[in-house]
Amino acid sequence: MARTIPIVPANAQGDARVYARSVKGWFAGWRWALVAFTQALFYGLPWLTWNGRQAVLFDLDARRFHILGFTFTPQDFILLTLLLAVCALSLFLFTAIAGRLWCGYACPQTVYSELFQWIERRTEGDRAARLRRDRGPRNADWWARKLAKHGLWLMLAAWTGFTFVGYFVPIRTLGGELIAGTLAAGATFWIGFYALATYGNAGWLREKVCKYMCPYARFQGVMFDRDTLTVTYDVARGEPRGARRHSVKPALGQGACVDCTLCVQVCPTGIDIRQGLQYACIGCAACIDACNGMMDRVGQARGLIRYGTESGLSLRDTPRAWLARLWRVRVLCYAAVLGVLLALLATGLSTRTPLKADVLRDRAVLSRVLDDGGIENLYRLHLTHAGEAPLNLRIAVDGLAGITLPADEGHARIGAQANATLILHARLPADADVPAGTHPITFRITEERHDGLAIDAASSFVIR
């Protein structure tokens, strides 16, 4: 049964804005590792070259997507659809098993918010310093730090916008035009648009995007169940909470929570996880790191806040039991559909050829009788070649006894990464024993050197 995630009032930090405190710990380390990995990919990939061209380039003008050694054309739309379906199913599967892993560690909103908060802490200090300064007078120090922060934010946002557009326009050309001041209006607009979106989302809106704008946050509760891992506060162990000196053990009847509110202070969405699972919790585990640090200081066992499941058994306490509960209907269904989609995608990728053919019969000239009594139909053969080397092609027609192409139409050459349109005259001899009507025929295009590369294009031959 889907789990209902309660909606608890937004900001438990008590301020209109969230002033998240920095945190160190095992999960923070993982989060930064993922920030480094994803951003190294994002900022670095467009600068890589592959066979003399940009390794990853979505060339919308030429309608070709280059990804390392692969080139995808509009005819590969089905593969793109399958890839998107695989991504969606993977997200569903991981969410059903481990909650909001994507939101907490890899979502661009989380990643850029982390980077922008890092800049904020370097320029304005940690939570306490920022709060004190923002509640104080607007003096020269306040303005200088704000200007530095927003200046650095805008620079990072501009670089992000430039990189993003560099996936669609060759980035070295884009950089050259930018330096020379000859950037096209369209590229300028999209760099500015994406830069402002980054600056606004990661700098200003931040947790509001997750709480109020992201549709995934709203419907993921459907994928949760009692065995989904979420960040949970151990109420039985923590309550009744109460402040006490670090060295003092909890008295009889007192819970382990010392009510230090560190878990609230580090929360990037400003919630108090001790109120239970909330839709605003992005599963970043910052509160786990903060609470573990506090438990170390008061000499208590870690894990007062931890990854756990509603069914009451935490992963840490009973990993085998949790693993056994992976075999549940919801997870198996997602895994089965994902497996089928992956198999289809793998088959599609392994059997796809770089050459695509599309044939159209000339409808203006239905059927023509030649001087020798033969019958001729006219066709346009559109070839799309996504490979890295030119191809010498052999073209033949089949499907009717005696049907042929003129000798000079039996061969063609197409360049690398090129399109070509050929006019073909399919002919039937005068003595062919074929009745009037429409007959299916097939054009077979083969690569002259590699007989393995062969594609068929179906059409019809009309005899009046």
Cβ proximity to ligand SF4, 44 vs 240, nearer residue: 240
Q: How far is the CB of 193 from ligand SF4 (least distance, A)?
A: 29
Quote the CA–CA distance of 21 and 215 in Å, as a whole number: 27
Cβ proximity to ligand SF4, 122 vs 297, nearer residue: 297
Is residue 5 within the footprint of ligand SF4 (CB under 6 A)? no
**Rg of the chain (C-alpha set):** 31
Let me know if 245 is exposed, middle or buried by CB neighbors in 10 A (0-12, 13-18, 19+): exposed
Quote the CA–CA distance of 101 and 458 in Å, as a whole number: 48
The contacts of residue 345 (CB under 8 Å, 6+ apart) are 79, 82, 83, 86
Q: Given the rule CB under 6 A, which of 274-282, 329-337, 384-392, 437-445 is the region that contacts ligand SF4?
A: 274-282
Cβ proximity to ligand SF4, 206 vs 427, nearer residue: 206
Interface map 220-259 toward ligand SF4 (x if CB under 6 A): -----------x------x--x---------------xxx
Quote the CA–CA distance of 455 and 176 in Å, as a whole number: 41
Quote the CA–CA distance of 268 and 378 in Å, as a whole number: 67
* DSSP element (H, E) containing 1: none
Cβ proximity to ligand SF4, 195 vs 263, nearer residue: 263
The token duo for 3 is: 């789990």
Quote the CA–CA distance of 324 and 45 in Å, as a whole number: 40
Cβ proximity to ligand SF4, 255 vs 429, nearer residue: 255
Task: List the alpha helices (DSSP H) in 266-368.
Answer: 286-297, 319-324, 329-351
Q: How far is the CB of 278 from ligand SF4 (least distance, A)?
A: 7
Interface map 300-319 toward ligand SF4 (x if CB under 6 A): ----xx--------------
Is residue 281 within the footprint of ligand SF4 (CB under 6 A)? yes
Kindly tell me which residue out of 169, 174, 195, 273 binds ligand SF4, with binding defined by CB under 6 A: 273
Quote the CA–CA distance of 388 and 344 in Å, as a whole number: 25
Is residue 331 within the footprint of ligand SF4 (CB under 6 A)? no
Is residue 412 within the footprint of ligand SF4 (CB under 6 A)? no
Task: List the alpha helices (DSSP H) in 199-328.
Answer: 207-208, 215-219, 235-238, 262-265, 286-297, 319-324
Nearest to 17 by CA among 109, 108, 131: 131
Cβ proximity to ligand SF4, 286 vs 395, nearer residue: 286
Kindly tell me which residue out of 93, 262, 331, 428 binds ligand SF4, with binding defined by CB under 6 A: 262
Kindly tell me which residue out of 169, 174, 217, 291 binds ligand SF4, with binding defined by CB under 6 A: 291
Kindly tell me which residue out of 46, 283, 308, 387 binds ligand SF4, with binding defined by CB under 6 A: 283
Is residue 101 within the footprint of ligand SF4 (CB under 6 A)? no
Is residue 97 within the footprint of ligand SF4 (CB under 6 A)? no
In the three-class reduction of DSSP (H, G, I as helix; E, B as strand; rest coil), residue 173 is classed as helix
Q: Cis bond leading into 240, ω under 30°? A: yes
Kindly tell me which residue out of 97, 111, 229, 285 binds ligand SF4, with binding defined by CB under 6 A: 285
List interacting residues with ligand SF4 (CB under 6 A).
Answer: 231, 238, 241, 257-263, 266-269, 271, 273-274, 281-287, 290-291, 294, 304-305
